[in-house]
């Protein structure tokens, strides 16, 4: 029912938008609206579209690939000039590429990367995003540099880093790469990483809080030297759990460095209060802007070299990550 | 080949704290009707449930055709030719009669039901039993009598050798009883044995061949209804065996006369449904017992339920103690001093899974509460006093009411309404399915209430009770009042004549 | 007779043995170097010992009749308490695998985590008692969390939900959140009572509505569906405050959630057992038709049931927002199934009319201990799900055999 309703809604919105036939019509699909990162992405896309004079319609996939497929169909049926898709399940990208190809409209994937083989099946398929491994590497580097600068951080004085890893949704590419490269970066900095425990907390604050609470109890906070989370919400959840045990509340004796990814508002506030060590900014604004510019250029058949972002291998726009640490505001 | 088709030997069954059956015997011959008698709580139902595989006896043996039988479920009982027609029937209301007859054993192949065969077979069965019912009609639309016949048809079709009938006539009119007996006689001639549980002495003497009496979970004895000399057992003899003492009067003596004040005046009250009660008018006097007679389907129950606010009224006027009364809701009726003891004790009376205490005080909670908070000691005190007064037999007030016998449940329900101190008690079939001893107690309670200035409206389908207890009888037929009879002019014939006044139409079944 | 006094003696003696052992270990653990092996085990032994001995001393001699009624054989005892015993076995196993489990802070943590669940379960038990259910419970938690958190952000926070909102008194957002829930509770009650709709359908509809409304609210600009953060510390304290923190060295304090849950527990026990309303709930659940005949106003009672339940969900939602210092519209997802499961394990009958507060407390505790324990020894979340499902099925199966007479 909800799906039918949403599809109908998308159609109505789309119809409402097609008053000006000569404008570029962009159909955008977001995997879930209430995701902090994708929200910034959305806002950037809307603003940029307005600037370019393009009409953009954004649909909420509600974390359901079937719903999103229906939304893509509705967009195509409505005659959009270009699609921007943030898939729910990145392995479903192929069917979306096929649909776009059949309708002969370009498609720009964002945030969740299709495999190179998939992109290769259609000349008008692109990907805009950040290199997930880069975000992993940078969080690892944040922890490593803190560890080196603060000898007291090595609580058991063994020269190794005992850490806890909080992971995002199972199978998510960012989760896999961030987890892998953050640990790698610690190793590359010359410190041996020791994983005390890791768990999947689905990008969620509440879940991360519960899991972290369990780890604090079973491992003991005095044995934990760092918490690496795949995103900020989970890092913040871990911090709430630590605060409940009087950790990370300003007492330097009881502090565990926690890092995340995204640099959202709550994370920045937590860093200002000294509760969180650092985060990595996944630059949603530039990703959103570049995705819309690329889409508009493709729709109008213009040269994609003029959009102001470099296109790698004819298929990719990579937006770099930025480290954000304590006290630095955006 | 054994002399008996069924032998139950030394059956013993205990529940936590209670010995429900103690070495009970029951021997049933082929092609006979064997009456099983005893007061409520004597263990008849428990014994039958042991036979039917619902309970597992703790001791004793069951033999069928001289061979030891093992029965652990209703299914096994049915497979071995035992069928049971329960007192309260629960058909699948929204399915057809034929599907109810063949429930659990639909004819067909590999899971595909053969509806045509089912229809033909049901039709043949019904014709054989002289039942005029369309097999495709919905079960929920059938009368209790038809449903019972349907169950018997089901048993016949399953080639049952023994059919247990539990209070089969409690909701049947005389005409329907005749029909039932005709069927029983025919099946008996074919060699089917019946175990017949009933409290109605006359019926039992009419239909049965042998009688087994139980008392307090023990076996009292078995007697042929007609001995070698051709003499029949007497009702007094059976009652004596059942209660263990002589019972001289069926009804306690009525002292005093109804007053002249009119407490309830009903004028031309009509139901919104055309087939239900219409133009009902009567007056109820203080300290009067007004009996309402009629056949099943006379809309008596519907009328009193409407009076109590359970059903709507389209037109007419009701005056209660001289003031206008509207039937807003049962709660309102209660607050105006009305009480209704419903006909269906289990469905609309008791809270089976709640203790006796709660069942007793539930209609009177407000009187024990300050700002919604209950005073427990007063609740317990009142419930205890009332249950003792009405002689409710129970180990404690915390016993679940579903563990009591029907008579004791009924007494608890009466206690419930007495606690509300209502002025007008409406009793719908107050003694249905209750044993002789408890009946007498309930009659006594009624008279006590009258003596205290209360008034009673009593619906009864039992002629002796109606005539024995009422100060006046109002007879209804197909929703209309067909006449009043004053004490002194009662006779079964007169009541029947009024109850069948519109007999030009189909029997009001 | 002999049997009961023997069990009494067993309890007393066993309790005393535990007590002595506990005291001995308490003083010996440091000299024996067991500090890191048994943690707070001595304290637990002492507590169990005192309770058991006390119960043994004060247990009433049962009369013969009562003893016969109780009529419990050993196997019956085992089946009746199978889930509880399984839990105890699990606890012992966990203690061996991971001695850290034997800490007072772990016990307190389990109680803390049980508290919101208990509040939920106490709310949902009303719907179960009238043979219904309440699927909207979880979403109400989300609604209350979002509403209360949205008005409780610090003035300096960058992404405020209401950028120009002044510093409100604590009670306004809490009242607003709970009232919003009660509004939907009233909607639930109305459609169930007025149209005699099955609560499953009615609350399913409300659940969807609530999620939609909550998401609309959550998506209002400037928030646009961002997780709500920057929660005022005074609000967070409602869920995070720890009483007696640092009473002695290493004592983590008792979370405020525990006394809140206990107070609610007592209130609900009182409501169910000592008020007209409570008795009416059991009566309506036991036999709705008979309740009507007895003159109970079924409509208003059902309305009140759902409103009271939503009040509890609202409280749970506010506490959840305070505890995590944040909220999203996904809070509370699936809480209703956990609450129903805990009730059912605690002996509440889905067919209505049967259920006690004590049972619900046990159900919630059993669930939390098992879940917490499994996570403690790092059992995969997928296996945790499997085990949870098995517990529900087994617990209810045992319960059903208890009620079935044979």
- Mean pLDDT on A89-107: 92
Domain count of the fold of chain A: 2
Q: Is C266 on the interface with B (CB under 8 A)?
A: no
**Chain C positions in Cβ-Cβ contact with residue B340 (cut-off 8 Å):** 293
Is position B186 within any domain? Answer: yes
List pLDDT tens digits, range C43-64. 888 888 888 888 777 766 555 5
Q: Answer positive or negative: Cα dihedral of B140, B144, B146, B151.
A: positive
Tell me which of 1.20.1070, 3.40.1130, 1.10.3470, 1.10.760 is the CATH number of domain C100-403: 1.10.3470
Is position A24 within any domain? Answer: yes
List pLDDT tens digits, range A158-167. 989 999 999 9
Is position B122 within any domain? Answer: no
The model's confidence at residue C69, banded by pLDDT at 50, 70 and 90, is: very low
Instruction: Mark whether B223 and B290 lie in a shared domain.
Output: no
In what helix (H) or strand (E) does residue C255 lie, and over which residues does it extend?
A: strand C254-255
List pLDDT tens digits, range A141-183. 999 999 999 988 898 899 899 999 999 988 888 899 999 999 9
Instruction: Mark whether B192 and B291 lie in a shared domain.
Output: no
**Chain C positions in Cβ-Cβ contact with residue A42 (cut-off 8 Å):** 224
Q: Inform me whether the pLDDT recorded for B496 exceeds 50.
A: yes
Instruction: Mark whether A37 and A139 lie in a shared domain.
Output: no
| pLDDT of amino acid B505 | 43
Q: What is the DSSP letter of B395?
A: S
In what helix (H) or strand (E) does residue B117 lie, and over which residues does it extend?
A: helix B115-128
Burial string for A40-62 (b: 16+ CB within 10 Å, else e) reads bbbbbbeebbeebebbbbbbbbb
| pLDDT of amino acid C141 | 96
Instruction: Mark whether A232 and A179 lie in a shared domain.
Output: yes
CB contact under 8 A, A2 and C208: yes
Instruction: Mark whether B235 and B299 lie in a shared domain.
Output: no
Of all residues in chain C, what percent are helix, strand and coil, respectively (each to 5)?
A: 70, 0, 25
Is position B51 within any domain? Answer: yes
Q: Is C237 on the interface with A (CB under 8 A)?
A: no
| pLDDT of amino acid A305 | 83
Q: Inform me whether the pLDDT recorded for B27 exceeds 90.
A: yes
Structural domain containing residue B435 = 286-311+330-499
Instruction: Mark whether A271 and A167 lie in a shared domain.
Output: yes
Structural domain containing residue A259 = 132-281
The model's confidence at residue C4, banded by pLDDT at 50, 70 and 90, is: low
| pLDDT of amino acid A1 | 53
DSSP string, B302-353: HHHHHHTTSS---EEEEEETTEE-----HHHHHHTTEEEE-S-HHHHT--TT
Q: What is the CATH number of the domain that holds A151?
A: 3.40.50.2300
Chains A and B touch (3+ CB pairs under 8 A): no
Q: Is C277 on the interface with B (CB under 8 A)?
A: yes
| pLDDT of amino acid B128 | 85
Of residues C109, C226, C325, nearest to A36 (C-beta): C226
Q: Inform me whether the pLDDT recorded for C406 exceeds 50.
A: no
Q: Inform me whether the pLDDT recorded for C2 exceeds 80.
A: no
Q: CA–CA separation, A178 vs B400, rounded Å?
A: 63
How many A×C Cβ pairs under 8 Å?
89
Instruction: Mark whether A264 and A297 lie in a shared domain.
Output: no
Complex-level ipTM: 0.79
| pLDDT of amino acid A16 | 47
List pLDDT tens digits, range A265-293. 889 889 988 899 999 988 888 999 999 99
The model's confidence at residue A137, banded by pLDDT at 50, 70 and 90, is: very high
Q: Inform me whether the pLDDT recorded for B248 exceeds 90.
A: no
| pLDDT of amino acid A3 | 56
DSSP string, A190-253: T-EEEEEEEEE-TT-HHHHHHHHHHHHHHH-GGG--EEEESSHHHHHHHHHHHHTTT-SSS-TT
Alpha-carbon distance B334 to nearest alpha carbon in chain C (angstroms): 6
Q: What is the DSSP letter of B141?
A: G
User: Strand, coil or helix: what is B379?
Assistant: helix
Instruction: Mark whether B296 and B204 lie in a shared domain.
Output: no
**Chain B positions in Cβ-Cβ contact with residue C294 (cut-off 8 Å):** 330, 362-363, 416
Q: Is C63 on the interface with B (CB under 8 A)?
A: no
| pLDDT of amino acid C262 | 96
Is position A330 within any domain? Answer: no
DSSP string, C48-115: HHHHHHHHHHHPPPPPHHHHHHH---HHHHHHHTHHHHHHHHHHHHHHHH-GGGS-HHHHHHHHHHHH
Of residues A34, A43, A217, nearest to C376 (C-beta): A217
Place of tokens 């083989």: A117
| pLDDT of amino acid C316 | 96
Q: CA–CA separation, C306 vs C303, rounded Å?
A: 6
**Chain C positions in Cβ-Cβ contact with residue A220 (cut-off 8 Å):** 100
> First vs last Cα of chain B: how many Å apart?
43
Q: How many C-beta atoms surround the C-beta of residue C301 within 10 A?
A: 19
| pLDDT of amino acid B141 | 82
Question: Are the C-beta atoms of residues B290 and B284 closer than 8 Å to each other?
Answer: yes
Do the strands B472-477 and B480-486 form a parallel or antiparallel pair, or are they unpaired? antiparallel
- Mean pLDDT on B419-431: 93
- Mean pLDDT on B456-470: 89
CB contact under 8 A, C376 and A199: no
In what helix (H) or strand (E) does residue C187 lie, and over which residues does it extend?
A: helix C171-195
Residue C243 tokens read as 């009483």
Instruction: Mark whether A125 and A161 lie in a shared domain.
Output: no
**Chain A positions in Cβ-Cβ contact with residue C230 (cut-off 8 Å):** 265-266, 269
Q: CA–CA separation, C68 vs C70, rounded Å?
A: 5
CB contact under 8 A, B352 and C287: yes
Percent of chain A whose predicted confidence (pLDDT) is above 90: 57
List pLDDT tens digits, range A290-311. 999 999 999 988 888 888 888 9
Entry pTM: 0.78
Q: What is the CATH number of the domain that holds B424?
A: 3.40.50.300
Domain count of the fold of chain B: 2
Instruction: Mark whether A124 and A137 lie in a shared domain.
Output: no
Q: Among A216, A219, A162, A151, which residue's Cα sits nearest to residue A186? A: A162
Is position B99 within any domain? Answer: no
Q: Is A39 on the interface with C (CB under 8 A)?
A: yes
Is position B79 within any domain? Answer: yes
Q: CA–CA separation, A277 vs A226, rounded Å?
A: 10
Of residues A33, A217, A265, nearest to C159 (C-beta): A265
Is position A329 within any domain? Answer: no
Instruction: Mark whether A257 and A171 lie in a shared domain.
Output: yes
Q: B130 has which bridge partners?
A: none
| Highest-confidence segment of B461-475, B490-504, C165-179 | C165-179
List pLDDT tens digits, range A189-211. 999 999 999 999 988 898 899 89
């Amino acid at each position: 029912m909800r799906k039918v309703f949403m599809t109908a809604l998308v159609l109505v919105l789309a119809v409402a938008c097609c008053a000006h036939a000569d404008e570029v019509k962009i159909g955008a699909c977001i995997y879930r609206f209430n995701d902090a990162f994708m929200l910034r992405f959305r806002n950037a896309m809307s603003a940029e579209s307005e600037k370019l004079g393009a009409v953009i319609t954004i649909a909420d996939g509600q974390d359901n690939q079937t719903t999103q497929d229906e939304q893509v169909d509705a967009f195509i049926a409505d005659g959009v000039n270009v699609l921007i898709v943030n898939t729910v399940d990145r392995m479903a990208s192929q069917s979306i590429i096929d649909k776009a190809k059949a309708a002969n409209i370009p498609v720009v994937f964002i945030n969740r990367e299709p495999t190179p083989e998939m992109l290769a099946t259609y000349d008008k398929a692109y990907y805009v995003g950040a290199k997930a491994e880069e975000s992993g590497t940078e969080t690892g580097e944040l922890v490593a540099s803190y560890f080196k600068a603060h000898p007291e951080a090595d609580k058991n004085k063994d020269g190794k880093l005992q850490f806890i890893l909080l992971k995002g949704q199972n199978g998510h590419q960012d989760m896999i790469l961030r987890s892998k490269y953050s640990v790698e970066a610690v190793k590359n900095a010359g410190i041996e990483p020791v994983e005390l425990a890791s768990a999947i907390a689905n990008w969620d604050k509440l879940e991360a809080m519960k899991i972290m609470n369990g780890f604090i109890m079973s491992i003991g906070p005095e044995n934990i030297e760092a918490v690496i989370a795949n995103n900020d919400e989970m890092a913040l959840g871990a911090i709430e759990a630590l605060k409940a045990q009087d950790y990370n509340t300003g007492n330097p004796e009881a502090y565990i460095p926690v890092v995340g990814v995204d640099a959202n508002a709550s994370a920045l506030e937590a860093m200002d209060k000294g509760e969180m060590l650092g985060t990595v900014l996944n630059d949603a604004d530039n990703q959103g802007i570049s995705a819309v510019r690329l889409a508009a250029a493709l729709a109008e058949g213009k040269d994609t070299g003029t959009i102001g972002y470099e296109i790698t291998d004819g298929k990719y726009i990579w937006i770099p990550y930025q480290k954000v640490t304590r006290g630095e505001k955006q | 080949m054994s002399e008996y088709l069924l032998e139950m030997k030394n059956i013993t069954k205990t529940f936590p704290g209670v010995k429900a059956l103690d070495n009970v015997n029951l021997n049933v011959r082929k092609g006979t009707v064997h009456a099983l008698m005893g007061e409520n709580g004597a263990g008849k139902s428990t014994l039958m449930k042991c036979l039917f595989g619902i309970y597992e006896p703790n001791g004793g043996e069951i033999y069928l055709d001289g061979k030891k039988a093992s029965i652990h479920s209703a299914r096994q009982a049915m497979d071995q030719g035992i069928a049971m027609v329960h007192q309260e029937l629960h058909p699948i209301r929204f399915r057809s009669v034929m599907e109810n007859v063949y429930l659990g054993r639909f004819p067909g192949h590999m899971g595909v039901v053969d509806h045509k065969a089912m229809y033909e077979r049901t039709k043949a069965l019904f014709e054989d039993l002289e039942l005029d019912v369309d097999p495709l009609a919905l079960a929920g639309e059938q009368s209790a009598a038809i449903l019972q016949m349907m169950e018997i048809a089901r048993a016949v079709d399953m080639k049952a050798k023994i059919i247990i009938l539990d209070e089969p006539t409690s909701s049947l009119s005389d005409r329907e009883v005749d029909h039932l007996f005709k069927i029983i006689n025919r099946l008996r001639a074919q060699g089917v044995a019946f175990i017949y549980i009933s409290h109605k002495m006359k019926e039992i003497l009419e239909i049965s061949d042998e009688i087994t009496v139980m008392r307090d979970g023990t076996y009292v004895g078995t007697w042929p209804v007609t001995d070698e000399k051709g003499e029949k057992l007497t009702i007094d003899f059976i009652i004596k065996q059942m209660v263990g003492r002589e019972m001289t009067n069926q009804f306690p003596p009525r002292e005093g006369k109804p007053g002249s004040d009119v407490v309830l005046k009903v004028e031309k009250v009509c139901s919104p449904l055309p087939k239900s009660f219409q133009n009902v008018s009567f007056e109820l006097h203080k300290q009067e017992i007004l009996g309402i007679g009629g056949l099943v389907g006379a809309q008596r129950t519907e009328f009193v339920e409407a009076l109590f606010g359970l059903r709507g009224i389209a037109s007419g006027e009701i005056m209660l103690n001289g003031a206008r009364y509207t039937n807003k809701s049962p709660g309102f009726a209660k607050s105006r001093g009305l009480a209704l003891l419903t006909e269906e004790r289990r469905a609309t009376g008791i809270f089976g899974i709640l203790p006796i205490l709660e069942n007793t005080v539930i209609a009177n909670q407000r009187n024990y509460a300050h700002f919604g908070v209950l005073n427990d000691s007063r609740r317990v005190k009142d419930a205890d006093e009332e249950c003792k007064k009405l002689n409710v037999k129970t180990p404690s007030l915390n016993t679940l009411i579903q563990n009591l016998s029907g008579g004791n449940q009924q007494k608890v329900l009466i206690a419930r309404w007495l606690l509300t101190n209502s002025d007008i008690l409406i009793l719908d079939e107050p003694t249905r399915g209750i044993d002789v001893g408890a009946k007498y107690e309930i009659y006594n309670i009624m008279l006590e209430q009258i003596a205290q200035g209360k008034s009673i409206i009593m619906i009864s389908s039992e002629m002796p009770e109606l005539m024995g207890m009422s100060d006046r009888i109002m007879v209804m037929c197909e929703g209309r009042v067909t006449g009043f009879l004053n004490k002194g002019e009662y006779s079964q014939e007169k009541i029947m004549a009024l109850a069948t006044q519109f007999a030009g139409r189909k029997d009001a079944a | 007779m002999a049997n009961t006094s023997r069990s009494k003696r067993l309890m007393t003696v066993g309790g005393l043995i535990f007590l002595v052992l506990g005291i001995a270990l308490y003083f010996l653990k440091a000299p024996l170097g067991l500090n890191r092996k048994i943690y707070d085990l001595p304290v637990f032994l002492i507590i169990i010992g005192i309770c058991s001995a006390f119960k043994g001393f004060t247990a009433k001699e049962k009369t013969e009749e009562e003893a016969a009624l109780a009529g419990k054989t050993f196997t019956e005892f085992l089946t009746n308490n199978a889930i509880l015993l399984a839990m105890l076995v699990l606890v012992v196993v966990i203690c061996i695998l991971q001695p850290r489990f034997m800490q007072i802070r772990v016990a307190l943590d389990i109680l803390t985590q049980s508290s919101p669940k208990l509040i939920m379960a106490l709310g949902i038990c009303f719907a179960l008692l009238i043979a219904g259910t309440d699927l909207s419970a979880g979403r109400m938690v989300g609604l209350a969390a979002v509403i209360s958190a949205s008005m409780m952000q610090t003035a300096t926070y960058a992404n405020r939900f209401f950028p120009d909102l002044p510093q409100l008194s604590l009670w306004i957002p809490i009242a607003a959140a709970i009232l919003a829930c009660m509004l939907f509770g009233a909607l639930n009650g109305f459609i169930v009572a007025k149209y005699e709709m099955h609560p499953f359908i009615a609350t399913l509809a409300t659940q969807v509505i609530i999620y939609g409304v909550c998401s609309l609210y959550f998506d209002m600009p400037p928030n646009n569906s961002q997780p709500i953060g920057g929660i005022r510390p005074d609000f967070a304290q409602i869920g995070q405050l720890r009483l007696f923190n640092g009473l002695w060295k290493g004592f983590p304090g008792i979370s405020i959630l525990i006394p809140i849950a206990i107070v609610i527990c007592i209130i609900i026990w009182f409501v169910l057992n000592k008020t007209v309303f409570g008795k009416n709930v059991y009566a309506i659940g036991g036999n709705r038709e008979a309740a009507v005949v007895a003159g109970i106003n079924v409509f208003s009672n059902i309305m009140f049931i759902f409103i009271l339940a939503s009040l509890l969900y609202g409280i749970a939602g506010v506490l959840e927002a305070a505890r995590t210092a944040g909220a999203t519209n996904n809070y509370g997802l699936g809480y209703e199934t956990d609450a129903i499961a805990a009730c059912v394990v605690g002996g509440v009958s889905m067919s209505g009319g049967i259920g006690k507060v004590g049972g619900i407390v046990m159900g919630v505790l059993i669930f939390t201990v098992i879940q917490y324990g499994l996570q403690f020894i790092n059992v995969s979340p997928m296996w945790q799900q499997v085990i949870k499902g098995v517990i529900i099925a087994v617990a209810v199966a045992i319960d059903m055999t208890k009620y079935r007479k044979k």
